[in-house]
């Protein structure tokens, strides 16, 4: 384990350097983020910022996990997490590439993302039935439940689609998604500190901390859909393999709020004809640069981007504390 700790710490400066070199290379090729015209007006200055930094994060992480896998006799859960991260990172990469090539903020259509995500869930269910048969702990109790195959597949499908898309929604402010992912990984490690989980989580923490060095405001490199989708799948697969998937709504509480705000925004507009927030997902409601499209029901805020990011990190830390409490109930 000492070697794993040492390598994970060393990954921080290695990730910083790799992200910096990658960002420089992308900028030279004039490959950058496309900004939605309908988004917050203050985000216009972000146009052209290098994106797809998730390639560096996932690449470094995969190399280290593959190196340390044999030390735990290639535990099947490690293979499950690796495959889940690669499959969904690939979906995000297709989305990023399509957006870059079109020079528009729109990549894959929602139906295509749904189809590809569903195919990935089916593949994972078929290949790793043994891993997915693990009993799942029930929060705030000492009990567990073993689900039948149909319910297990539904759980895999829903949790992967929900978390990957929620983390992608949260990737709208500098440092927000990466910081949330770091905190969620720490929460999962506390809930289930097995050797296999540490082999997965510690190197990813190292690469993410290095990425955050160049991603905090003002960002020099964005995570991209490849990173958001890949990281979201890794978070879900860790919780599924370790029997803590029912804790995920608590561990990833801010992601639930982000995706829930989009649902609430649509529902409010259809029912009342008025939007609930200035703009969704939730973090845009607090932005000083967000321009309301129409009358909204909740009072708006005028916070700078860095304040929103830090406060969302603090809120996420609270949710993790709640999840740890739920895991040690009784």
The closest alpha carbon to 96, from 236, 281, 223, belongs to 223
Give the CB-side neighbour count of residue 267, counting CA atoms within 13 A.
Answer: 6
pLDDT at position 87 is: 96
DSSP strand E in 93-219: where?
A: 136-137, 144-145
pLDDT reported for residue 75? 77
The residue whose two tokens read 């700078």 is 304
Confidence (pLDDT) at 293:
67
> pLDDT tens string for the chain (330 positions)?
788 899 999 999 999 999 999 999 988 887 766 666 556 666 667 777 888 999 999 999 999 998 876 665 557 889 999 999 999 999 999 998 888 777 666 778 889 999 999 999 999 999 999 999 989 999 998 889 999 999 999 999 999 999 999 999 999 899 999 999 999 999 999 999 988 899 999 999 999 999 999 999 888 999 999 999 999 999 999 999 999 999 999 999 999 999 999 999 999 999 888 899 988 899 989 987 667 667 888 887 889 999 999 999 999 999 999 999 998 875
Give the pLDDT of residue 120: 97
What per-residue confidence (pLDDT) applies to 263? 94
Here the tokens at position 315 are 């809120």
Q: How many CB atoms lie within 10 A of CB 31?
A: 17
Instruction: Report the C-alpha gap between 147 and 201 in whole angstroms.
Output: 26
List phi, psi (to 5°) of 35: -105, 135
Q: CB pairs under 8 A, 24+ apart, for 75-79?
A: 75/196, 76/128, 76/130, 76/131, 77/131, 77/196, 77/197, 77/241, 77/242, 78/196, 78/199, 78/200, 79/128
Say what the pLDDT of residue 38 is.
59
| Helices H / strands E in the chain, number of each | 13, 2
pLDDT of residue 71: 62
User: What pLDDT, in 10s, does the model give residues 122-149?
Assistant: 999 999 999 999 899 999 988 899 999 9
In order, the DSSP letters of 297-327 are SSPP--B-HHHHHHHHHHHHHHHHHHHHHHH
| CB-count exposure of residue 214 (10 Å: 0-12, 13-18, 19+) | buried
**Residue 46: CB partners within 8 Å, gap ≥ 6?**
33, 35, 219
What are the backbone angles phi and psi of residue 275, rounded to the nearest 5°?
-80, 150
Omega prior to 281 cis, within 30 of 0: yes
- Nearest CA among 49, 8, 3 for reference residue 203: 8
Rounded Cα–Cα distance for residues 193 and 171 (Å)? 27
């Amino acid at each position: 384990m000492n070697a794993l700790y040492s390598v994970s710490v060393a990954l921080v400066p290695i990730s910083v350097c790799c992200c910096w070199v990658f960002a420089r290379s992308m900028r030279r090729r004039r490959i950058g983020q496309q900004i939605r015209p309908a988004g917050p007006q203050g985000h216009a200055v972000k146009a052209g910022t290098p994106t797809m930094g998730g390639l560096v994060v996932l690449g470094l992480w995969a190399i280290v996990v593959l190196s340390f896998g044999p030390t735990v006799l290639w535990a099947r859960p490690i293979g499950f997490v690796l495959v889940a991260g690669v499959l969904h990172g690939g979906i995000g990469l297709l989305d990023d590439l399509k957006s870059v090539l079109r020079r528009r903020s729109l990549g894959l259509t929602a139906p295509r993302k749904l189809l590809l995500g569903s195919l990935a869930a089916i593949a994972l269910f078929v290949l790793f039935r043994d891993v997915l048969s693990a009993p799942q702990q029930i929060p705030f109790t000492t009990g567990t439940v073993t689900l039948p195959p149909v319910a297990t597949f539904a759980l895999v499908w829903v949790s992967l689609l929900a978390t990957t898309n929620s983390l992608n929604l949260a990737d709208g402010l500098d440092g927000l998604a990466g910081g949330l992912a770091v905190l969620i990984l720490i929460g999962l490690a506390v809930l289930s500190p097995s050797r296999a989980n540490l082999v997965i989580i510690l190197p990813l923490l190292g690469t993410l901390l290095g990425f955050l060095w160049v991603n905090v405001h003002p960002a020099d490199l964005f995570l991209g859909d490849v990173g958001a989708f890949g990281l979201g799948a890794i978070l879900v697969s860790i919780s599924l393999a370790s029997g803590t998937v029912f804790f995920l709504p608590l561990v990833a509480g801010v992601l639930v709020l982000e995706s829930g705000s989009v649902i609430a925004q649509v529902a409010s507009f259809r029912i009342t004809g008025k939007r609930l927030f200035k703009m969704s997902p939730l973090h845009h409601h607090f932005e000083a640069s967000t321009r309301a499209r129409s009358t909204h029901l909740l009072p708006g805020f005028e916070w700078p981007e860095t304040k929103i990011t830090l406060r969302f990190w603090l809120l996420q830390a609270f949710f993790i504390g709640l999840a740890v409490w739920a895991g040690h109930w009784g």
